[in-house]
Amino acid sequence: MSANLPHYITGGEVHAGDRVHYHENGATVAFVSDGNGGEFSSGYTDYLGSEEGIMLRDDDGEHIFLHEPDDDLEFVSRKRKV
């Protein structure tokens, strides 16, 4: 991955598919973009080339767009890629 992806406040890169808490609510990173490229979960590839930021899909199905990570975005887990 050559994209310059955003980082969590703790330092790790944000990746599509990550489980997170945002304002204490569970969510999944739907896509993360540097404005030119990025990582996209299934069903979100149409966002390729969208502005820099992170799209979250919370557990109620709502979408939240963050221009950059903040203190309220907390990494929970990542599926291991095989």
Residue 23 counted as domain residue? yes
- Residue numbers of the domain that contains 46: 19-77
Cβ-Cβ contacts under 8 Å for 65 (sequence gap 6 or more): 53, 54, 55, 56
Q: Is residue 1 in a domain?
A: no
Q: Is residue 2 part of a domain?
A: no
Count of domains for the chain: 1
For 9-28, write each residue's pLDDT tens digit. 999 999 999 999 999 899 99
Asked if the structure places residue 52 within a domain, the reply is yes
Residue 11 forms part of a structural domain: no
pLDDT, tens only, 53-71: 999 999 999 999 999 899 9
d(CA 24, CA 17): 18
pTM of the model: 0.87
Q: Is residue 73 part of a domain?
A: yes
